Chains A and B, each alone.
Chain A
Amino acid sequence: MTTIDPRFELAQRLGLAEVPAPQFADAAEVITRLREQDYLSSPEIASATFLADRLAKPVLVEGPAGTGKTALAQAVARATGAELIRLQCYEGLDESKALYEWNYRKQLLRIQAGRESGDAATWAALEDDIFAEDFLLPRPLLEAIRATHPVVLLIDEVDRVELETEALLLEILSEYQVSIPELGTVRATQIPMVFLTSNATRELSEALKRRCLYLHIGYPDVERERDIILSRVPGVTTALAEQIARVVRSLRDLDLKKHPSVSETLDWARTLVILGQSDIGDEEAAATLHILLKYQSDIETAQKELFGRRSS
């Protein structure tokens, strides 16, 4: 089957003079280059990132909190030397905060200035004038589209916006363009990499999912977690990192309300290093457990199951 290169296709649609070169040659290169940024990716993560680049498609990253979804976008931005533009989503986010807004104060000033200087511009001319790019306040999405240098766009916690607001994203995600009624369509001048993260607190719409590649980042296995600890926590020994990873794995095996995330593991590792531990003993571990677990009932369960203590 003859498939047209998706990047080529997109570049044509955007009217770019030349097809921007892809960032990565293969998935293995993703792994190495992210490792240089202290981000240890699993083969799945690398594949998804590689394909996102090649297929010129956004990636929807889901998974439990604190497993490195946001960090992935940051690492990719650093690795490719791109600017990271971040849109933090929240309930009530709207067009004027996500896409663009007209700078109406400046528009008013312009009208007043015109009146005072007495140059009797016709309304039509004035309208043309005040709805020009000068009076446009770009918000993250438009900013990412208009950028002339490479950017990575991170749309964080997209599950927090309402279903209706989600629709705002669709044009950008599939066409890499923003339509502004008064101004026309702004098309991307390069192909930005786009990451969306979600904690799956609600079902995202089919339309959004269809436009994205999908990546689920779960908890890492013992080896990868150990390596993550080693690369992110200064002063930790391999033996200690291994022990930490194993304790955390056992914790995730328990039936808890909230399992420890990778970022909590790192916090715990840092604590143990500061406390000068070279081995994990039951006493010290049980005493610092509140760094890993955030519910009292979870802490009690863990103390009972893992450290052989009855909760007093």
Chain B
Amino acid sequence: MNEILSDFIGELRAAGLPVSMTEHVDAARAATMIDLVDRETLRAALSATLVKDHDHRPVFDSAFEVFFARRAVGAAASDDPATDEVDPGETTRPPRGGAGAQGQGGRSGRGGSGSMSSVSPEQLQEMLWNAMMNGSPDDLREVAQHAVELYADIEPGRRVGGTYYLYRTLRNLDVEGLRQKLAAASAGSTPDAAWAQRAAQVDVEVKVRELQAAIEKEIRERLVADRGAQSLAKSVRKPLPEDIDVMHATRDEMLQLEKALRPLARKLATRLARRRRRRRRGPVDLRHTVRRSLSTGGVPIDLRFKPPHPAKPEIIVIADISGSVASFARFTLHMVYAIASQFSKVRSFVFIDGLDEVTRLFDESDDPGEAVARINAEADVIAFDGHSDYGRALTDFVKRFGRDINRRSVVIILGDARNNYHQAHPETVRFLKEKARAVYWLNPEPTTYWNSGDSVIAQYAPYLTKIVECRSLRQLEAFVGDLA
């Protein structure tokens, strides 16, 4: 147990979770006090001792599934773990052989050649339906075993995380059709009330999600049997939400990012508000202090302070929202507006090859997320061919809004500076730098890519206060936090 635990914690650390020595010891001690056969108890004990942030839970869960997939059940049904290890080519044997075989007598036909399953697709559909309708977790698990056997077509030894197997299995199971069938079945028995209809829909979703989870687990267990926990853990390792690379996020990761963004922005706003409140005192007011000191014989006992000068900057965001960097711009705008109260004023502009002001969208809605969602539909940003043109957009900005820039303005330009070989017009940025307090450029590309291909960041660089590499929420939060 201790060895697995060490490996497991090594994996957590590799995925970015801060696990200290004390926590390791706690986990080891906790493990001695519980019933190790029950996986969920073990999961609860380990998560209580090792994971101190709810956002880290998905990372923990996926690692846990991998490391404690078989061993816990393997102790109970240890019929042939050796076969799996020695001959990974034979994928037909489900890791949880014992449990599965008891459930269905039909399991015995193990099939000599490759991936022949004991049930036909029709039988499986029937089993699936039954499991869905009066689903006990055991039934569902059994369906998942058969489905994976029948459809996933796992290739031993391939270094993959199993997402594709999952996709293939679900498609072959016809989950869409299942969803509709379930909806139709429940429609008959549901009362007319609108809320009940809705609740029934949610029921269906929950069931489908359970099925998906069961299949995912089954695939993972087989992959662990095939390749061992550590190797698989590397393939399925998920970055923490705040470390996800915004430019290359998958759709799933995007959802995670969106979810992580809101609390992150809220925390940032609280922190900044607190910092401002604590710094409420201005510098020492010498005149006043001396005057007060007369009553104490010239000794300045009672210090007087000048009223604070809320040097709140005025923020001007100019964001490229063309395809490649759109999501990055969205996150940044959201973050900036979430702490808008820390600035005297925020104005935002978006462009591709034309430029449009979108400040009004944010003024109309009290939820920055909502406003950001409306940008794509409502901003008029294509003037010519719909490829980013920084030079043109910035020239346009200077022409139309240049006179609004003053010493209190902080200009933030968002984009990868990939100019599609148009004119860069760096003099526009120079103009901004001369008039504004500061001009920052946030680039969502890694530093090593700058100036490669059509990236023209170097042409703007001499006139910028700072160029910041900004690829993840963590970096974004740090930048925005320093701004206020």
* Interchain Cβ contacts within 8 Å, total number: 109
CB neighbours of A247 from chain B (8 A): 195, 199
Judged by a CB distance under 8 angstroms, whether A27 is at the interface is: yes
Which of A63, A200, A250 is in CB contact (< 8 Å) with B199? A250
Closest to A174 in B: B22
CB-based contact A281/B193 at 8 Å: yes
Kindly provide the distance from the CB of B259 to the nearest chain A CB, expressed in whole angstroms: 11
For A276-288 the 0/1 string (1 means CB < 8 A from B) is 0001111001000
CB-based contact A51/B45 at 8 Å: yes
CB neighbours of A162 from chain B (8 A): 274
**Cα-based distance from A91 to B51 in the complex (angstroms):** 27
Known contacts A47-B48, A249-B199; A57/B28 CB under 8 A: no
For B256-272 the 0/1 string (1 means CB < 8 A from A) is 00000001001100110
Known contacts A44-B44, A216-B54; A3/B22 CB under 8 A: no
Judged by a CB distance under 8 angstroms, whether B41 is at the interface is: yes
- Band of interface residues on B: 35 or more
**Cα-based distance from A113 to B32 in the complex (angstroms):** 60
Size of the chain A interface, CB-CB below 8 angstroms: 50
Known contacts A47-B41, A213-B49; A3/B29 CB under 8 A: yes
CB-based contact A60/B267 at 8 Å: no
Interface residue SS majority, chain B: helix
Which of A51, A62, A206 is in CB contact (< 8 Å) with B54? A62
CB-based contact B270/A47 at 8 Å: no
Q: Which of A12-20, A134-142, A300-308 contacts B (4 or more CB under 8 A)?
A: A300-308
Judged by a CB distance under 8 angstroms, whether B116 is at the interface is: no
CB neighbours of B40 from chain A (8 A): 43
Residues on A lying within 8 angstroms of B by beta carbon are 1, 3, 6, 26-27, 43-44, 46-48, 50-51, 54-55, 57, 59-60, 62-63, 91, 162, 200-203, 206, 209-216, 243, 246-247, 249-250, 253, 257, 279-282, 285, 305-308
- Return 14 A-B CB contacts under 8 Å, by A number: A3-B32, A43-B40, A47-B44, A54-B30, A91-B274, A201-B270, A202-B271, A212-B52, A213-B48, A243-B196, A247-B195, A250-B202, A305-B198, A306-B194
Residues on B lying within 8 angstroms of A by beta carbon are 2, 18, 20, 22-23, 26, 28-30, 32-35, 40-41, 44-45, 47-49, 51-54, 57, 191, 193-196, 198-199, 202, 205, 263, 266-267, 270-271, 274, 367
8 additional A-B residue pairs with CB within 8 Å, beyond A44-B44, A51-B48, A212-B52:
A44-B47, A47-B41, A48-B44, A51-B45, A63-B54, A214-B52, A306-B194, A308-B194
